[in-house]
Amino acid sequence: MYAVGKNVEEYVYGFQAFRRNSQTIPVIRNKLNALDPINRNVLLIFLADQLEHRQDLGGLYYHGGIEICQEFIDRNGHIMVEIAENLGFPTLAAELARVFRETVLAKIPVELLSEISRPRSLVIPPKSYRRRLSVAFYQEIISGLHYFRCKINRRLHSLRSALGVKKN
């Protein structure tokens, strides 16, 4: 039984399989004419997804992003452009070529490149940023209450242990 229909399930499965193994891009180029309509459409969706992910240069801000993007584009960019053209989508091919070129030539300010351990964007607040006094006061009160609650719980736990009383 399919939750959203057999065709949709096939598209989702094909797209996820294709995203997990980008090594297949050169292989797909050589077997493009042998693809069935669903796999051709999945390939088109994948190409559009690649375009969308690189339009805002977001991947460059991740840990190791510049090198990873550069390597991926060097290895697969020209092939994806060729595939889009062969599928009959010259506008998509031109946009892919443009976005890949911009990604490779992009210069990211050194302040925005940090050695972060997990993939996420870095946000640098403007110099004019300041927490409102009421928000800062509220956060300090909550922090203080949390501190005292933890301290009381630790003391109660040690007291229970000393008396041999088990917690309900």
Domain boundaries, the chain: 6-112, 129-168
pLDDT of residue 121: 57
The predicted pLDDT at position 167 comes to 65
Instruction: Measure the CA–CA gap between 97 and 89, rounded to whole angstroms.
Output: 13
Q: What's the pLDDT tens digit per position in 108-140?
A: 776 666 554 344 555 677 888 888 889 889 999
- Rounded CA separation 157/60 (Å): 49
Is residue 93 within 8 A of residue 85, CB to CB? The reply is: yes
Q: Dihedral of CA 119/78/81/25: which sign?
A: negative
For 119, the 3-state DSSP assignment is: coil
How far is it, in rounded angstroms, from Cα 60 to Cα 78? 19
- Please report the pLDDT score of residue 85 as a whole number: 94
What's the first-to-final CA gap in the chain, in angstroms?
Answer: 46
Quick one: tokens of 32? 């493009």
Q: What is the pLDDT of residue 90?
A: 95
Four-CA torsion 140, 143, 149, 154, nearest 10 degrees: -130
Low-confidence ranges of the chain (pLDDT < 70): 1-4, 19-23, 61-64, 110-123, 167-168
- The continuous run of DSSP H or E covering 133 comes out as helix 133-163
